[in-house]
């Protein structure tokens, strides 16, 4: 087990991983490991966020992330408010900021936000006092997904240093890929992006990664392969000639798996398009950790909620100390 | 700095605690020791080895992280930011007599948190508390069942510190 270092977490918001240090990311992983004790208990609950109000503010559809955050908050005994655009005053024209300020006026402590516009979490964090956690913003970041990805690898391999990790698919439209790249490279892995040129983001060379346009070329050297979902809802006009052709060139098939390392870790952030980016036999096969990712997502989100709340508490403590000295 | 117990005295105290545990707990009852970090887990391991050699049977021990059950987590006047540790209990606590082990019993708040953390894990037959040092300053109605040494008075500005070889390189109890 890794030794727990004395570390003070200072961020009351988790907006992305781009600006996090390796030490900060490792602190989240270490904290998450401590939370596994709760998940394996008879009573899967601890009072760490008792009396705190956590708002799930989702402006985009979600199954995994929304429920995962809700379960994580519940396990820490917080009260969770579910907000959906459809049944809210947003449909009456209320702005995002007004909605958030009103929720805060009702006593929210942590706001978890998903929005299709990049930068929304940051905007929100500048305008409300509650802690803000990004649950996915536009094509920018999805930090908790990347954290659970690296946590899953870290638990299996012990470290990410020197691992070769491929991220395959619709990288241009993927906030998961972006957060993954930040987290994985900071933790010492070599990231290889694999996609048709039409799905590669602009200025990809600035991300500190290797780029390949052929999965077959790199298949044998990979320690981890992360298959992204083809996001039909975000794709414009014909990024590839046909679904069948995409699947033929970039899908993770049983045939391709035969050429991979025996202990390759197969990941997918979900939801899966079975038979498109990944064949069912592979998704359900012995190398797949797709459901472990989901389980680890709860632990990681518990750690994130705990840490941002602790940072807010630390700020309070400093304020009180200053006032008593004044 | 005043040395309250040296290395030999600490061993003697732990030996005596083991003796009184054996004399007070019925022979047919399964027991296990669970330590509260930091240093309670070391006391737990040592008690377990003393008990195991006296009873000629393995007495299991483990450690219980109480961070998430602390009552000052959301208190702006609380101590510095806590680090979540790990709970390592490789046995079933149901129906056992569980002896909670801690290095120092002071306010009683860690013990309360440990009791909450433990009942979330299962339902022991009974809970007992063993501490190496019992010092004044209780804020909750909690007392030890097995004590290594009781200290009756400590000056306001001073505190008791237990050091173990495993964590600090040296066995000693000091007032600083």
Q: What is the pLDDT of residues A153-201, one digit of tens each?
A: 999 999 999 999 999 999 999 999 999 999 999 999 999 999 999 999 9
Q: Which residue has the higher pLDDT, A215 or A39?
A: A215
Residue ranges of domains in chain A, CATH in brackets: 22-142+294-325 (3.40.50.1370), 143-288 (3.40.50.1370)
Count: domains in chain B: 1
B78-111 CB burial, b ≥16 within 10 A, e <16 = beebbbbbbbbbeeebeebbbbbbbbbbbebbbb
Which residue in A has a C-alpha nearest to residue B77's C-alpha? A317
In this structure, the number of other CB atoms found within 10 A of the CB of residue A137 comes to: 26
Q: What is the pLDDT of residues B87-137, one digit of tens each?
A: 899 999 999 999 999 999 999 999 999 999 999 899 999 999 999 999 999
Beta bridge partners of A14: A133
DSSP string, A29-55: HHHHHHHHHHHTSSS---GGGTT-EEE
What pTM value is reported for the model? 0.91
Q: Which residues contact B23 (CB under 8 A, 6 or more apart)?
A: none
Q: Is residue B168 part of a domain?
A: no
Is residue A1 over pLDDT 50?
A: no
Type and span of the H or E element at A192: strand A190-194
Identify the pLDDT of residue B30: 96
Q: What percent of chain B has pLDDT over 70?
A: 100
Q: What is the pLDDT of residues B9-56, one digit of tens each?
A: 999 999 999 999 999 999 899 999 999 998 999 999 999 999 999 999
Local confidence band at A326 (pLDDT 50, 70, 90 cut-offs): confident
The minimal CB distance from A43 to the residues B86, B87, B120 is found for B120
Local confidence band at A84 (pLDDT 50, 70, 90 cut-offs): confident
Q: Sign (positive/negative) of CA torsion B93, B99, B102, B108?
A: positive
Q: What percent of chain A has pLDDT over 70?
A: 98
Which residue in A has a C-alpha nearest to residue B38's C-alpha? A4
SS (H, E, C) chain B: CEEEECHHHHHHHHHHHHHHHHHHCCCCCCEEEEECCCCHHHHHHHHHHHHHHHHCCCCCEEECCCHHHCCCCCCCCCCCCCCCCCCECCCCCCCCEEEEEEEEECCCHHHHHHHHHHHCCCCCCEEEEEEEEECCCCCCCCCCCEEEEECCCCCCCCCEEEECHHHHCCCEEEEC
Q: What is the pLDDT of residues A11-25, one digit of tens each?
A: 999 999 999 999 999
Is residue A244 over pLDDT 80?
A: yes
Contact A310 B122 (CB under 8 A): no
Q: What is the pLDDT of residues A285-300, one digit of tens each?
A: 999 999 999 999 999 9
State whether residue A236 sits within 8 Å of chain B by CB. no
Q: What is the pLDDT of residues B51-79, one digit of tens each?
A: 999 999 999 999 999 999 999 888 877 77
In this structure, the number of other CB atoms found within 10 A of the CB of residue B161 comes to: 17
Is residue A321 over pLDDT 70?
A: yes
Per DSSP, helices labelled H in chain A are 22-39, 64-75, 96-105, 120-127, 143-157, 175-186, 215-218, 243-250, 254-257, 280-283, 290-325
CA A7 to chain centre: 22
Q: Which residues contact A123 (CB under 8 A, 6 or more apart)?
A: A96, A97
The minimal CB distance from A316 to the residues B76, B82, B120 is found for B76
Q: Is residue B176 part of a domain?
A: no
The minimal CB distance from B86 to the residues A1, A8, A46 is found for A1
Is residue B152 over pLDDT 90?
A: yes
Where in the sequence is the domain holding B26, given as residue range(s)? 8-72+84-152
What ipTM is given for this predicted complex? Answer: 0.82
Q: CB contacts < 8 Å between A and B, how many?
A: 76
Identify the pLDDT of residue A3: 47
User: Residue B65's domain is classified under what CATH number?
Assistant: 3.40.50.2020
């Amino acid at each position: 087990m890794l030794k727990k270092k004395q570390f003070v977490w200072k961020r009351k918001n988790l907006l992305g991983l781009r600006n996090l240090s390796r030490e900060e990311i490792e602190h989240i992983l270490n904290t998450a490991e401590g939370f596994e004790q709760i998940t394996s208990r008879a009573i899967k609950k601890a009072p760490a966020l008792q009396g705190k109000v956590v708002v799930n503010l989702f402006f985009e559809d979600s199954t995994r992330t929304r429920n995962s955050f809700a379960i994580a908050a519940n396990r820490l005994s917080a009260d969770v408010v579910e907000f959906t655009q459809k049944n809210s005053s947003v449909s009456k024209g209320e702005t995002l900021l007004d909605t958030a300020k009103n929720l805060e006026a009702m006593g929210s402590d942590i706001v978890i936000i998903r929005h299709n516009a990049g930068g929304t979490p940051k905007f929100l964090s500048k305008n409300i006092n509650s802690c803000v956690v990004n649950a996915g913003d536009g094509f920018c970041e999805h930090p908790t997904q990347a954290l659970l990805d690296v946590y899953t690898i870290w638990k299996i391999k012990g470290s990410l240093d020197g691992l070769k990790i491929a991220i395959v698919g619709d990288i241009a439209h993927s906030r998961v890929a972006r957060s993954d790249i930040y987290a994985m490279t900071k933790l010492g892995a070599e990231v290889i992006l694999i996609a048709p040129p039409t799905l590669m983001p602009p200025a990809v060379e600035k991300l500190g990664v290797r780029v390949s346009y052929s999965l077959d070329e790199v298949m044998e050297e990979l320690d981890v392969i992360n298959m992204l979902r083809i996001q039909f809802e975000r794709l414009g006009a014909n990024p590839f000639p046909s679904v069948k052709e995409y699947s033929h060139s970039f899908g993770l098939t049983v045939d391709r798996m035969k050429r991979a390392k025996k202990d390759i870790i197969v990941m997918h952030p979900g939801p899966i398009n079975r038979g498109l980016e990944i064949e069912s036999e592979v998704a359900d096969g012995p190398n797949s950790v797709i459901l472990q990712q989901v389980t680890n997502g709860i632990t990681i989100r518990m750690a994130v909620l705990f840490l941002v709340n602790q940072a807010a508490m630390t700020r309070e403590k400093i304020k009180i100390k200053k006032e008593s000295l004044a | 700095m005043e040395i309250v117990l040296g290395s030999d005295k600490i061993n003697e105290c732990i030996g005596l605690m083991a003796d009184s545990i054996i004399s007070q707990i019925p022979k047919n009852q399964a027991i296990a020791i669970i330590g509260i970090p930091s240093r309670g887990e070391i006391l737990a391991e040592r008690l377990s080895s003393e008990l195991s050699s006296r009873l000629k049977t393995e007495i299991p021990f483990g450690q219980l992280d109480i961070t998430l059950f602390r009552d000052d987590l959301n208190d702006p006047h609380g101590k510095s930011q806590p680090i979540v540790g790990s709970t390592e209990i490789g046995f079933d606590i149901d129906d056992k007599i569980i002896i909670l082990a801690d290095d120092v019993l002071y306010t009683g708040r860690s013990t309360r948190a440990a009791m909450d953390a433990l009942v979330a894990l299962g339902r022991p037959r009974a809970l007992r508390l063993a501490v190496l040092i019992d010092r004044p300053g209780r804020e909750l109605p909690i007392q030890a069942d097995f004590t290594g040494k009781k200290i009756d008075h400590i000056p306001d500005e001073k505190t008791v510190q237990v050091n173990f070889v495993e964590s600090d390189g040296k066995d000693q109890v000091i007032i600083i």
